[in-house]
Amino acid sequence: MEKQIIVFTLGEKYYAVNSDQVEEISKMIDSTMVPNAPRHIEGLINLRGNVISLVNLAKLLHLTEEECYNNIVILDRQDEK
């Protein structure tokens, strides 16, 4: 069985994620800050009644944010719920 992947760029590098894990790709959504959260956690978003952590991959990978777009990839991580 072939797997499909979604490829995206962050800075000058390409990354891929299994399409089975992608719930949706969206423009940036307003988030609620979480006090004392790690630097790469932008906050929490409410997506159709589900509270989801918003991870800034650029910060996690130590990239400058000017190199990044303002889209978000929402992953369905059933194993982490």
CATH number of 5-80: 2.40.50.180
Half-sphere exposure of 42 (CA within 13 A, CB side): 16
Contacts of 31 (CB under 8 A, 6+ apart): 42, 43, 44, 45, 54
Which pLDDT tens digit goes with each residue over 10-63? 878 898 999 888 888 888 888 899 999 999 998 999 888 988 888 888 888 888
How far, in Å, CA of 17 to CA of 6, rounded? 5
Q: Tell me what pLDDT residue 73 has.
A: 76
Local structure of residue 32 (DSSP, 8 states): B
Q: Tell me what pLDDT residue 44 has.
A: 94
Q: Which of 58, 78, 76, 75 is nearest to 67 (CA)?
A: 58
More confident residue, 80 or 74: 74
Which pLDDT tens digit goes with each residue over 28-39? 888 899 999 999
